[in-house]
Chain A
Amino acid sequence: MKKEKIIEGLLKFSALVTILTTVGILYVLLSESISFFSEVSIWEFITDKEWTPLFVNKHFGIMPLVMGTLLTTFIAVAVALPIGITIAIYLSEYAPKKFKKIVKPLLEILAAVPTVVYGFFALMVVTPFLQSFIPGMSGFNSLSAGIVMGIMIIPYVSSLSEDALSAVPKSLRNASYGMGATRLQTAFKVMVPAASSGIIVSVILAFSRAIGETMIVAIAAGQQPRLTANPLVPVETITAYIVQVSLGDVAHGTLEYKTIFAAGITLFIFTFILNNISFYIRKKFKEQYD
């Protein structure tokens, strides 16, 4: 009895610590941002097309950072989505069980490689390689960073999508094969639709991961806030900006310093929305199945 009480207490305590940490982070983010927005209007923050808080001629338009973030993220997802889903379908519908057992954890290693390694890989290998046939490409660019980030998030898509496909009742696959459907038809007409919510959730998670990724973009995409959709020129993402200021010599408490909290809360809003979408889809999916 006593032992159970202690364990229960410990569990409660850990839950509390997690919640308190989240609340604490939110508190700091919010209070610093509020103080930032008392000096810079939200309107300016959203509509100004330049982000130059560290220059003499200061502009506080977040859009260049948002654009840099979205550009690298979309490139990453464009790489990870088709490859990840193809792998998931192959593993769940075609590959022998033994092969799957070996390959799935191997793929997951991709997500475990330190991101700083990916960053240098993008900068030192991928960019020079791409430059050899894209002449105008800068040394820092969102394309290589995005591609390499895409490789990193492949296992998020492939593993979670594979889980979703494997969770589809076997009886559905049998029903389809029994009708004379081929493996390919069964995969695309029955399995993928039946697992669609899980697959979508996996993609959203990969999205979230790419938006928050810092090291790769900080190293390989550059540190020049620029409102552009051109993947060949340097850009700066929200995360890379936060690192730049955190590591720099900006004095604490100044407006320049507070910009990282405004940028941080923007990032937070993005991931918060994505998490909620995936939560909502998961909930709906559960209802549909029982």
Chain B
Amino acid sequence: MENKLEAKNVSVFYGEFQALNNINMKFKENAVTALIGPSGCGKSTYLRLFNRMNDYVDSFRMEGEILVDGNDIYNKDVLVDELRKGIGMVFQKPNPFPKSIFENVAYGLKIQGIKNKAVLKNRVRKALQQAALWDEVKNDLDKSALELSGGQQQRVCIARALAVEPSIILMDEPTSALDPIATAKVEELIHELKKDYTIIIVTHNMQQASRISDYTAFFYMGDLIEYNKTDIIFTNPEHERTQNYITGRFG
């Protein structure tokens, strides 16, 4: 397996405050990497570097390089819109558009200029099937996505990200607003997806990290403390901090 993503000497600042300290990390292709660590340690900040979603924060500043397929995405020539078309993102809170289920899932395709109705229908159907939502909504595709339950909304958002067939998916606590059943569905889905996608997932749920990820990175106050295969992190971590965190003994 190749390295799909890489962070090279990455530091992030919000004004004077340093949120990430000199991070170096390589992400394997077609694998799930979990980012864990206490609240405020910089996981979301780090995740958002890979599709440049921090760009909208006025005080944001970055040093170092983020490579996607070997290319520095913070290079001046990079078209940010084009970059994001290949990188899906699922947010912590479900954020469907106030549009129909169909329009939500088709959004990215329409942005890319796909107008053919049959193509759109097919891709929407496929994405909803992948997101394990198709059977529940196939008869109400014209219903507003806002009328769905939270778990269904989150799966609409996942389908929306999948519909454009990106190669990378970034997920920021995608199941934190979901009940155990919906969570299980999304976890199953992530397991399915890793065949074709490189997935980075932020989670506060240790069981979830150990269940679904191949690699786990532990962050603490802006530092990358430990990064290894998930089973090693959870059975035999190198650092005491990691051990304390995953066992819940954290002050």
Point out the residues of chain A lying under 8 angstroms from B86, CB to CB: 180
Task: State the CA gap A178–B111 with chains docked (Å).
Answer: 12
- B residues near A, CB below 8 A? 51, 53, 56, 58, 81-86, 88-89, 91, 93, 95-99, 107-108, 110-112, 144, 146, 157, 160-161, 164
Q: Give bound CA distance, A249 to B84, whole Å.
A: 72
**What residues on A are CB-neighbors of B56 within 8 Å?**
177
Complex contact A179–B85 (CB within 8 A): yes
Point out which of A171, A190, A288 has the most chain B C-beta atoms below 10 A from its C-beta: A171
Which of B84, B88, B95, B164 is A171 in contact with, Cβ under 8 Å? B95
Q: Does A174 contact B (CB under 8 A)?
A: yes
Q: A181 touches which one: B83, B88, B111 (CB < 8 A)? A: B111
Q: Chain B residues near A171 (CB, 8 Å)?
A: 91, 93, 95
Asked if residues B146 and A288 are in contact (CB atoms below 8 Å), the reply is yes
Asked, given contacts A169-B95, A171-B91, whether A180 binds B146 with beta carbons under 8 Å apart, the answer is no
Q: Give the residue of A178, A185, A194 whose beta carbon is less than 8 angstroms from that of B98.
A: A194
Residues from chain B with Cβ under 8 Å of A277 in the complex: none
Q: Is A174 within 8 A of B91, CB to CB?
A: yes
Are B84 and A180 touching (Cβ within 8 A)?
yes
B97 touching A194, Cβ below 8 Å = yes
In contact, A97 and B58 (Cβ under 8 angstroms): yes
B107 A179 Cβ-Cβ under 8 A? yes
Q: Give every chain B residue within 8 A of A179 (Cβ-Cβ).
A: 84-85, 88, 107-108, 111, 160-161, 164
In the complex where A97-B58, A171-B93, A189-B107 touch, is A178 in contact with B51 (Cβ < 8 A)?
yes
A179 to B112, CA, bound (A): 10
- A189-B99 Cα distance, complex, nearest whole Å: 10
With contacts A180-B82, A180-B112, A181-B81 taken as known, whether A193 is within 8 angstroms of B58 at the C-beta atoms is: no
Task: Please measure, in the bound complex, the distance between the C-alpha atom of A97 and the C-alpha atom of B146, giving whole angstroms.
Answer: 29
